[in-house]
Structure 1
């Protein structure tokens, strides 16, 4: 059975915005689309480790603020001619709160 961590209110992140969220298992970039979908990824772009939480959210992608790499929020894959990926984590919204799945965060922490 999955265990989820409450990381804050959906309204704490503007539509087409992001926030770096500190959890007991480390920091994760959480993104909110215009349609109120929520995605969680590692914060470091695969190119030069740019802070993705400071990027521009458009559709289901984020553009890194350093060198304009476009990363899929759904898969973590770089798009276009760029290559590389970042880890993604299960996220959901329930009763206006954002939840991340603990087991995936634990796997990330163990790999670092």
Structure 2
């Protein structure tokens, strides 16, 4: 089976502020977009894996991690894994940049 990937433009790179989260929706999927201080951009599911949730785009960003604003879980922007002693994972999305346009690849 051949799968076709789709690049969806979601933001202008120059408009993204470092250490801030941005919320967007593609189809029915809520996504949090983050630009970190080294200039990389990451995208992950916009919900904490905690059973009671939390909106990750509202979380504090430190390095390549975001802290859930409700439960303070530390979540990797790189692979979506919750750092110990807590456990869990959020879905990550591939991000590409072409000049000033940021794309999410689905």
Q: TM-score, normalised by structure 1?
A: 0.84
Contact 2:29 2:45 in 1 (8 A): no
8 Å Cα contact 1:7/1:23 also seen in 2:
no
CA RMSD across the alignment: 1.4
**How far apart are 1:36 and its partner, in Å?**
1.1
In structure 1, what is the Cα distance between the partners aligned to 2:30 and 2:53?
Answer: 14
Unaligned runs of at least 5 residues, structure 2: none
Question: Which of 54, 62, 67 is matched with 2:66 structurally?
Answer: 62
Partners of 1:86 and 1:76 lie apart in 2 by 5
Structure 1 gap ranges (5+) = 103-112
Equivalent position of 2:99 in the other structure: 95
Matched positions, count:
102
Match of 1:44 among 36, 41, 47: 47
Specify which structure has the higher proportion of strand: 2
Give the TM-score of the pair, scaled to structure 2. 0.88
More helix by share: 1
